[in-house]
Structure 1
Amino acid sequence: MAQDNNTYVAAIDLGTTKVVTLVGKRTANGRLQIVGFSSTDSTGIKKGMIQNIEETVKAVEKTVREAESQAGVKIKSAFVGIAGQHIYSIKNYGYITLGSEETEIKRSHIKRLIEDMYNIPVDTGDSILHVLPLDFSIDNVKIEDDKPIGMLGRRLGANFHIVIGKTSSAKHIEKCVDRAGVKVSELILEPLASSKAVLTDEEREAGVALIDIGGGTTDLAVYYNGIVRHTAVIPIGGSIITQDIKEGCQILQKHAEMLKLHHGYALMSMAPDNKIITVPGIGGREPKEISMRSLAGIIQARMEEILEYALYEIQMSGFANKLTAGVVITGGGALLKHIISLIKFKWGYDVRIGYPSEMLCSESLEHYNYPQYSTVIGLGLMGLEYIDAGEASPCTTTEFKIEVNKTEEFAEVQPKEPKQPSKRTLGMKITDVLSKLFAEDDIN
């Protein structure tokens, strides 16, 4: 199916710390142009799973309406991410008989084989989310390049990586999105979406592990020879680091989060040993002084635990020794200072931070090229592929005007308009707040 540069795609990332809605379209050179974008705090989701329907619906409605207002279109469907500790994967082999005579293998045969895999038995309460081919065989002979189309044979077989999750979790997501007036076009495993946004074709070919450290979960995907070999969702993320800081320093949650974001080091040895941060006291009490080295020690201890879980999953994939391109780390957790040094020190892999810049147009790069947006941008990119392949319909209806009074109640969280660079960004506003809350002093 030909690409339509006027086709809009919508994506929704339901995260533990934030809910994000994106509206975009493909540019003439095949990149994604973001025309509507909204993010708000998430209070109804824990460890990637919906715990409060009403709170989640409010967040989805809020971001959807804002994204519609910016894009000037009505969102009727969206591609939505799914994660959580209920996600697991299995390997399975399947085959179909092509006939008694030698038959040319067509794309329709592969599609039929994949569809058959969706019918294999799984545990009660589970459902299959993705069926990903690993390799193909014709008449029990493995195809080295995994491209059987056009070849002749009587039987087509394949090994599959099958991603499975709880049916109830998927239905909760569909219910929340539906109550916001949007239909779910497709539920997409979040590490696959993040991989789409930040990995290059060369990295997938050489062998790479993608680690997306979010607020409530850490998602992982291992690629080799251009194919997904392993996926996993680890039920801990950046939020637990914030909780450790809160308890270890005996401060408020909001102050712990600010300490992590603006003064946190993933490697204790790299933190200044002669600096302290002054944190406002609770209820008029005396301010607290916290050593940056002590703060880094709290962060490193928990980050090492998260990375150990990720390394275990990489080893379970069977490709730990074949990751020529090493590790790409993304998500909000990738912004911790010296996290690259920590991973190199612990594992010895080559490491880089993954930004969703591979497929973003230049107009969108300035405003949205941040690791914490990798998942929602990847969902948009995968959504465009579904639409181009004819497997999903465009996500929006015709353009329309939205009255100003419909969006006034959300004005305080609207992101910066691409064509108005003079507006203050959210990062600038956070910096202003921090300058009032924190004072960093040298220890003499």
Structure 2
Amino acid sequence: MTFRSEEKFVEIPEVSDDGVRNLTIHRIEELTLKLIEEISSRTFPKLTYKEARKGGRIAELEDSVGQFRDRQTDARNLNDCALDLLTSFDSSKSLSWIVDDEETPPNDIAQNPVNKDLESEKDPDASRSITVDFRRKNSRKNLALLVTLMSYVHKMLINRTSKTRRSLYYELQSERNSAGLAKNQRILDTAVNHVASLLECSPWELGFTATSKGLVYGDLSLTFSKEDLVSCEVAGGVLIPQNVNRVTSARTSARYVLVVEKDAVFQRLIGEECTQYLNCILVTGKGYPDVNTRMLVNFLGNKLKLPVYVLVDADPFGIEIMCIYRFGSATRSREDRQLAFPDARWIGIHPSEFSALGLSSKPLVASDKAKIAGLKSRGYVDETILDQLQLLQAGKVDIEAVAGLSNRFLTTVYLSSKISTENYL
């Protein structure tokens, strides 16, 4: 079934980020001046902003900061000054992340400061008000972490540099004043997302990059602004670049993109020569996809105009992963135009085809049932997906069960027939 198509080549004009960069620098300076003013007057500082679920993100301060715009202060030292003032307060004063709604108990964020990136099942369209209040228990450390991160962002934006979140974590641990601010990487990642909400920008616009985990394989070449060329025809696949938004040109003769949930299936398809047989580009996020993987899928669909098909396990978590690629995640609504690809199609595995394939399903566990209930409540889940979720109540099947039906069955029979007959959702 190998079909070679005409090679596609697209050039993407470079877009200056000076506007966003300058605005973010300005916001950091305003926020820091506000903190300095409040702390210097012995007022407990408090920041309030909104973290959107799916309805858009608005960042706001409880008090206006306009009065500080003309203040003559060395901007490069603002954050250090604010952090010094924070540490001058009595150590018995502390604060915590406060989720100002009835659905989430006030201590949940403090006790579990992890960005699950998918929650808000009760009301996925609602934004939540976050208050960092110095009078709240445990909030002192969080405010110090916010100010520390803004200090890093401020320096990186001015110097036009960047660093990975992982290297930032180790750097914080090595500094005496910041060693206890983030006990683990997940807490730091959550704090970075809070800073992005506070500054009304995307996390990657702060200068922090996430270490890529996703892989891409197939007939695809990407050129970046510094004339760096990445060829994706490397055995086992190549790590998805961190700076997909910096691609200046791309070349491929592939006909479409096949996104697979798991690395094991990705490697199996490479072994079955799927990219040659189906003339496709393979992508995997190795489970729940990171930002770089989602950004690449969006790029291939929007810029190269390639159809995107998503292959996941027929279980609630696989269906959720498919929805992330297609509709976006619950807490990144601001960035979904660069991350989600609504035209992506769910090619399998569908619960409705278990019988036709002669597959025996596994019973659901409690977490599966809870996830199904959560998925059904999400606004983007249409009737077609709801029907599959209903059928899924009878049991689940993984991709490997289909792949094991016969030699190269996944590539030469299952995927090829579904694409040729347009049997996808």
TM over 0.5: no
TM-score using structure 2 length: 0.26
Higher strand proportion? 1
Q: Which has the higher helix share?
A: 2
- TM-score, normalised on structure 1? 0.25
